[in-house]
Structure 1
Amino acid sequence: MKFSSSALFMGLALMATTFVSCTSDDDSDEPINEPVANDLILINSAYTDVGSMLVNIYAADSLMAQYTKIYVEVKDSASNNIITNAAVDILPMMNMGTMVHSAPRENPTSNTATEGMYQGAVVFIMPGEMGWTLNVTIYDPANDVEGTAAVPVSVAQPAVTRTRVITPLDSTNNLIISYLHPQNPKVGVNDMEITIHERITGMNFTPVNDYSVSIDPEMPSMGHGSPNNVNPVSIGNGHYKGKVNFTMTGMWRINLDIYDGTTSKDTTGFFDITL
């Protein structure tokens, strides 16, 4: 079989285009995939004080002193059926013996379970093999019953600090700053996300949405920083998103400057990242 020179040229061009398309490197956003039920591990369980509903606490990994997504499964103890329509409230409590305090939290935004789970989050501000309890209050409208399960959990210290408690420069309420992303950093531009909460009292932590955050990544061992970073901005509920650029592998330090308007709140916070 014979091929014309023009047909051969077009075929080679198509192959080259396909190859380049498949191997091109861009600065696409880091995918942030939510774990499905099969990817989660059971942390602990307890029954509610009223209604005898079984509350199972799941997470993607063992609990650490950092921003942690919590997945709650609720079962009817009589039928063992999963309750997929309920109001769920998660209240973290740390009993230190001489004092009791809570922590920043995000309760499920829907009363409808997804894959049988209600998703929330807790910023565990300190580790504790003992002392932490998740008080999970469930209202089951089908049976018009409300009960609370006290689920003991163990919280370990991560190898690298991912939550910092900051005393602001203007001596106001402490701030809790947590690092979320990137979890799997790469060379190049990465999505970055942190949370900021203000400690009003030991039981009340409020998300802060009106601060200005600037980042200054540096590589201490090499004495240089990086260009093309995008300062995180508020997206609501205490979350701030931006972009951070790592120009080579190694250990990086992301320095944070936090302002409330023109008032400097903190210039000492940082998170270390290793590629």
Structure 2
Amino acid sequence: MKFLRWAGTLTALALLIITLSSCDTTSSSDPEPELDLVTIGSVASDDYTISLESNSPLQTGANQLYWKVERDGDLVIPESITITPMMDMGDMMHSTPFQQPEVATEDDRYFSNMAVFIMASGMMGSWSIEFEITLPNQEVLIGEMPVEVDSSWRLTSVRDNNDKIYFITWLHPRQPVTGNNTLRFMVHTRDSMMSFPPVENAELEIYPYMDMGGGSGHSTEFTSPEAQEAGYYEGSINYSMSGTWTTSATLKVGDVTLPEVMFEYSVQAQ
């Protein structure tokens, strides 16, 4: 009988331990957050390696950049990172619309920022990103990251009668699909070769169209984007079928209506 009582007590203790263990949500076996990124480049500065990654190879238009600092293979979380993208065209240099890096909300091992590259790398010039990184020990790393930027359909530009240029970036969806899509644009202008402020409170009218050939075609259900904060414009578009579509965009700034520009792209079936 004593044996049975002891056996029952041990069984109860074992069940209690298992229950408590199953409630521990801080188990070391929990996976660390990970981003599906591709390496854009890396450079060495003193004993440190600075890596730049992104969701895909860089293209004209909006790109989300992720910065990581390591020393001897160990991760180092900076206090701050300051950057300036620069295009070297030989006889002149210019920057592009961009944000400064902050700790990435998706994965705090990275600093992240958006950059809108307004031209591709190639015969016209080459891109690099100057950086200044302050480490926890107050050491400062200064250097530049050469990057390659391919052309894409997600950026276009237009000029007014005074030759002032406006850059219209197709931000979302990066890959349109049939059905309803939230539609987001960014609009910037150029005040100088180093200053590209967002254009707020403008009007952006769009018109999606599918050319069926033989002089026939059709549009689809959509709402033109409305101005949001910091130069963002948001609407929606509901693609009725897959294939090649165009979307015209007409920007009105104050009392000035700019010439129509066009995005051409492929819509995938889902």
With the shorter chain as reference, the TM-score category is 0.7 to 0.9
Q: Is the 8 A contact 2:82 2:101 kept in 1?
A: yes
CA shift for structure 1 position 155: 1.3
Separation in 1 of the partners of 2:164 and 2:108?
39
Moved >6 Å (runs of 4+): none
CA shift for structure 1 position 52: 4.9
Q: How does 1:217-236 map to 2 (within 5 A)?
A: 217-221=208-212, 222-227=216-221, 229-236=222-229
Is residue 40 of structure 2 the alignment partner of residue 43 of structure 1? yes
The residue identity in structure 2 corresponding to 1:249 is: S
Separation in 2 of the partners of 1:243 and 1:105?
25
CA shift for structure 1 position 114: 2.8
Q: Is the 8 A contact 2:40 2:52 kept in 1?
A: yes
Change (3 A) 1:184 1:241: same
Q: Describe the SS at the equivalent of 2:49.
A: strand
Q: How does 1:165-204 map to 2 (within 5 A)?
A: 165-168=157-160, 170-204=161-195
Partner of residue 138, structure 1: 133
Which deviations, in whole Å up to 9, do the C-alpha atoms of 1:151-201 show, x marking residues without a partner? 11111223xx21112212x42521111112122322222111111111111
Q: Is the 8 A contact 1:42 1:57 kept in 2?
A: yes
TM-score, normalization: structure 2? 0.77
Partner of residue 66, structure 2: 71
Separation in 1 of the partners of 2:150 and 2:195?
23
Partner of residue 92, structure 1: 85
> Structure 2: 5+ residue runs without aligned partners?
1-32
Larger-gyration structure (1/2) = 2
Q: Is the 8 A contact 2:35 2:106 kept in 1?
A: no
Partner of residue 127, structure 1: 120
Q: Describe the SS at the equivalent of 2:189.
A: strand
CA shift for structure 1 position 112: 8.4
Which deviations, in whole Å up to 9, do the C-alpha atoms of 1:197-232 show, x marking residues without a partner? 1111111111112211111111133422223x1221
Separation in 2 of the partners of 1:37 and 1:149?
27
Separation in 1 of the partners of 2:230 and 2:77?
25
Is residue 141 of structure 2 the alignment partner of residue 147 of structure 1? yes
Partner of residue 243, structure 1: 236
Give the root-mean-square deviation of aligned CA atoms. 2.2
Is residue 201 of structure 2 the alignment partner of residue 206 of structure 1? no
The residue identity in structure 2 corresponding to 1:256 is: A
Match of 1:261 among 254, 261, 266: 254
Change (3 A) 1:151 1:53: same
Separation in 1 of the partners of 2:63 and 2:104?
20
The residue identity in structure 1 corresponding to 2:229 is: G
Q: What is the percentage of aligned positions where both structures have the same residue? A: 25
Is residue 160 of structure 2 the alignment partner of residue 163 of structure 1? no
Separation in 1 of the partners of 2:243 and 2:48?
49
> Structure 1: 5+ residue runs without aligned partners?
1-35
CA shift for structure 1 position 37: 4.1
TM-score, normalization: structure 1? 0.76
Change (3 A) 1:119 1:127: same
Separation in 2 of the partners of 1:113 and 1:253?
33
Match of 2:55 among 60, 66, 69: 60
Deviates more, 1:66-75 or 1:180-189: 180-189
Q: Is the 8 A contact 2:155 2:167 kept in 1?
A: yes
The residue identity in structure 2 corresponding to 1:153 is: V
